[in-house]
Structure 1
């Protein structure tokens, strides 16, 4: 959990940069990739991460312009990446203007329970990480390269002249 706003913002900047790395490797053709017809497509997952900024932060009372929860999935990878970038930057700016460290200890109703804003922010990051992982699997299935996020990806090991670890 975050104790200061700057702790969250520093972590968010890193995490959102990794999400943008994933988004920027998507192609328009890859957006329809899915495991089964009952699962979200790669494009829908990307859009879900984008509009979740509006949805989750809406519960906290933070006011900022963002891609709206419930809006349709765009048709292009660029539109998804651009909307995520703009929404994330607007969220950061709004937090800096509207919140203090003390705000993180305030409670809000989240899905029928009371969470501190710090808990909401922690969940926001974990939620993004969870779906970003799903996206990387779909990207591989779609034949796309995957960026190394918390360590080198397969192609990055090769570029370093190192074998891909088996364990």
Structure 2
């Protein structure tokens, strides 16, 4: 039952993420709010990359980020980032659809080489916290970037401020 809810949420939120990435304008791709922040292009690419992590999280008990070789493309090319997102969503959906309720309870660990970054934790907790919530966090940042640069923020859960000023 939990798995079915996760699948439904995944599909709904993929649409919201797509709307947000489509709102990223090429003209502001180098914007960043501070020297410590990512550029808008780097943030967009990170959001697209999180969907790639679904496969390692949902199909492996130990996921080593150091062993991953994802070709991301140029962070200054928003079209390449949107293509990356779409490819990663297809793979993520496939991994999520192959998952079982039993697998949600299995222990999972994220590593970078020999260093443990996260876990061991039940895969279901990791799916919610590391995958789903991680995307939502960075989407919130992207909304701030869009507003700071004077761009329209798409409605993800209803009308936005800009929509009410029509």
Q: 2:156 aligns with which of 131, 149, 154?
A: 149
Structure 1 position 113 matched with structure 2 position 111 = no
Query: Per-residue deviation at 1:68?
Result: 5.1
Q: What do the CA deviations read for 1:112-147 (whole angstroms, capped 9, x no partner)?
A: 421111111111111111110110111112221001
Select the residue among 128, 134, 157 that pairs with 1:127: 134
After superposition, the Cα gap between the structure-2 partners of 1:135 and 1:78, relative to the gap in structure 1 and judged at 3 Å, is same
With 4-13 and 74-83 compared, the bigger mean Cα shift is at 74-83
Shift of 1:103: 1.0
Q: Counterpart in 1 of 2:114?
A: none
Counterparts of 1:6 and 1:157, CA distance in 2: 34
Q: Could you tell me the TM-score, scaled by structure 2's length? A: 0.81
Aligned equivalents of 2:15 and 2:165: distance in 1?
23
Aligned length: 152
Q: Which protein is richer in strand relative to its size?
A: 2
Query: Where does 1:27-46 land on structure 2 (aligned, <5 Å)?
Result: 27-46=25-44
Q: Is the 8 A contact 2:57 2:123 kept in 1?
A: no
Matching residue of 1:163? none
Query: Paired residue for 2:77?
Result: 76
Distance 2:101 2:34 in 1: 43
Deviation digits for residues 83-130 of structure 1 (CA, Å, limit 9, x no counterpart): 112211221112223x21211111111324211111111111111111
Which consecutive residues of structure 2, in runs of 5 or more, have no partner in the other structure? 61-67, 111-116
Question: Which sections of structure 1, spanning at least 5 residues, go unmatched?
Answer: 160-167
Shift of residue 13, structure 1, vs aligned partner? 0.9
Give TM-score, length-normalised by structure 1: 0.80
Q: For residue 86 of structure 2, what is the aligned residue in structure 1?
A: 85
- Structure-1 separation of matches of 2:80 and 2:72: 13
Structure 1 residues 68 and 33: alpha-carbon distance in aligned structure 2, compared to 1, 3 A threshold: farther
Corresponding residue for residue 12 of structure 1: 10
